[in-house]
Amino acid sequence: MADDDAIDKVEDVLPEVPERGSATELMDHGAAGDPLGPMRHSAAHVLAEAVLDLFPGTKLGIGPVIADGFYYDFLLPRPLTPDDLPAIEARMRESIAADHPFELSEETPEAARAALVERDQPFKVEIVDDLAAAAERDGTPMPPTTFYRQGPFIDLCRGPHVASTGQIGPFKLLGTAGAYWRGDEKRPMLQRVYGTAWATQEELDAYLWRREEAKKRDHRRLGVALDLFSFHDVSPGSAFWHPRGQAIWRTLETAMRELQLRRGYQEISTPILVSEKLWRQSGHWDHYAENMFIVESEKQLFSLKPMNCPESTFIYKSKKRSYRELPLRFNEYGRLHRNERSGALSGLTRVRQFIQDDAHIFVRPDQLAAEIGALLGEVNEAYSWVGLVPRFAFATKPDKAIGDPALWEQAERLIKEALDSTGANYVTKPKDGTFYAPKIDIYIDDALGREWQMATIQVDLVMLPERFELTYTDEEGQEQRPMAIHRAIYGSLERFIGILIEHFAGAFPLWLAPIQAVIIPIADRHIEAGEELAGLLRTRGLRVEVDGSSNRMQYKIRAAQEQKVPYMVVLGDREIEARTASPRTRAGDQQPPEAWESFADRLAAESRSRSVT
């Protein structure tokens, strides 16, 4: 994708939604746990009523509730344009003003199908047919088919709804996007209209402000504007890191390596291309193969590794291990590949190639609680570098899990005991663990109040220890199974950087800024002194540029501010003669002059502190 295309793609930021495939999912339009769900789902029905009224012959898809809003899919006689949305909104307001009650009715499946055929709504007919087929396959009677009517409009639906259209709060249509019917690229492309609805105008206004602010902060736009990275169709879903973006990457990596060195980690590196035999042994081939890039060579199947977990066991087993060696902490910045669908790719936050700050820690049972406590401390420290406060969730065994249930029970009990012993606040997420381990997930809220799932700590008694037959010799000379902890703190560095770009709106704190200072010579004769000052700053480990272009000084200052550089230093005859710097911050504050050496020491100390202020 060319850079200009990257900007065009994000002009209208719309919510990401999961594809819905089964007939039961398509009938389930509500939003469990969303107090505004019934009202938003009712707004989706009013949207469908308006579109059908304005565009006769429209075929209706589905209209579920999503985070902060709703959508409805349509097969329309013509493509919608932005100018159509105000007309649709006006028609929706008429329905809301009419205060039509939402009326539930039940039909036999046969009568429901006949009515939908008569209305020429083939997508709805397909849903009824699939429900009937599923009931027949399961040997269960198909329940009555439910419809909801408001005014002249009736739709196949399970609900729930508010009592009448007049109870729909302030709303706004947000935009349109293409969506394949049932998420299948072989099916018709429908037009999806997104909207949002809130209880009060103040809440709607606040949401719309956050949405506009999110557009300004979109990391795909800022990544281009700040010359951090780009994406190109020669390698979809893989970032091309430019020098400034790579500087952010390496700075984060260096900080984590320093933390790991203090904690006694040992860095390893394992191959990217791995035989299917490994993935079958680990269980990933059965549970994850569709997300792998498969490669065939000499009649053997290999995969680009989607995770680092199993490979670390070969290093663990390279020699006999004693209880004295544990905990054994292996960290790896492994390059990973996951075969994400092209429609799901989204800048740095959803990619096909990424690097993860993985670690696999092998412990004795009596060491687990202390190790989890220390890992929570690592998370708190690393997130403090960027001003984020982590929250914790304990995710338990999912329905599809491998291994002995007794081992799962043991792992879950030990995690809970460890969490409780640290005093950490956490919530429990039943059945949300991985297929091989219960886990602790870490969440943060960014500057706009959006929640992101970040790091993870998984306690594995099944996949690595059992399937790869890991052992250590205890004090009695007997072989025992270690426990394996999978942990990532940043997670995917691509995703972490994308989130940070949006959190800081591109204005990184000094320690993380790709360019920490720009020297601006007033005239060509001042360039040599500018290079001298830049060299002095670089000896302190700072990232500095000299703007020796022929542009006017005010233009250079404005350019540095637009690039969100923390400090700008203008050099003229007076400053060079006195060997002083009068730094200007990106916020426009002019600081008092100070000696070059003092300025260099102050910036170096500020950078080392990893302060976010």
DSSP per-residue letters across 49-97: HHHHHHSTTPEE----EETTEEEEEEE-SS---TTHHHHHHHHHHHHHH
Average pLDDT along the chain: 90
Residues 256-277: what's their mean pLDDT?
Answer: 94
Q: What is the pLDDT of residues 417-431, one digit of tens each?
A: 888 888 888 999 999
Are the C-beta atoms of residues 506 and 222 closer than 8 Å to each other?
yes
Residue from 360, 397, 487, 586 carrying the catalytic annotation: 360
The reply to whether 486 belongs to the active site is: yes
Are the C-beta atoms of residues 238 and 266 closer than 8 Å to each other?
no
Is the pLDDT assigned to residue 162 strictly greater than 90?
Answer: yes
Burial 414-449 (b: 16+ CB within 10 A, else e): bbeebbeebebebeeeeeebbbbbbbbbbbbebeee
Residue from 155, 218, 357, 358 carrying the catalytic annotation: 358
Degrees (nearest 5) of the Cα angle 214, 220, 225?
A: 100
Classify residue 65 by burial, with Cβ atoms within 10 Å: 0-12, 13-18, 19+: buried
Residue from 150, 260, 356, 516 carrying the catalytic annotation: 356
pTM for the full model? 0.83
Is the pLDDT assigned to residue 9 strictly greater than 60?
Answer: no
Residues 521-540: what's their mean pLDDT?
Answer: 95
Name the band, by pLDDT with cuts 50, 70 and 90, for residue 406: confident
Residue from 220, 486, 487, 503 carrying the catalytic annotation: 486
Name the band, by pLDDT with cuts 50, 70 and 90, for residue 134: confident
Residue from 221, 337, 338, 487 carrying the catalytic annotation: 338
Lowest mean pLDDT across 3-7, 192-196, 214-218, 228-232: 3-7
**pLDDT at residue 28, as a whole number:** 56
Is the pLDDT assigned to residue 510 strictly greater than 90?
Answer: yes
**pLDDT at residue 531, as a whole number:** 95
Residue from 439, 495, 556, 610 carrying the catalytic annotation: 439
Is the pLDDT assigned to residue 29 strictly greater than 60?
Answer: no
The reply to whether 41 belongs to the active site is: no
Are the C-beta atoms of residues 253 and 273 closer than 8 Å to each other?
no
Lowest mean pLDDT across 10-14, 322-326, 450-454, 520-524: 10-14
Taking Cα atoms as reference points, which of 490, 509, 489 lies closest to residue 387? 509
The reply to whether 601 belongs to the active site is: no
Choice between 135 and 101, residue whose per-residue pLDDT is larger: 101
Residues 204-214: what's their mean pLDDT?
Answer: 93
What tokens were used for 239? 């970032």
The reply to whether 338 belongs to the active site is: yes
**pLDDT at residue 24, as a whole number:** 52
Is the pLDDT assigned to residue 137 strictly greater than 90?
Answer: no
CB atoms within 10 A of CB 474: 12
> For 350, what's the count of Cα atoms within 13 Å in the CB-facing half-sphere?
10
The reply to whether 441 belongs to the active site is: no
Is the pLDDT assigned to residue 163 strictly greater than 80?
Answer: yes
Name the band, by pLDDT with cuts 50, 70 and 90, for residue 7: very low
> For 156, what's the count of Cα atoms within 13 Å in the CB-facing half-sphere?
33
Residue from 161, 309, 329, 495 carrying the catalytic annotation: 309
Contacts of 96 (CB under 8 A, 6+ apart): 46, 165, 166, 168
Classify residue 480 by burial, with Cβ atoms within 10 Å: 0-12, 13-18, 19+: middle
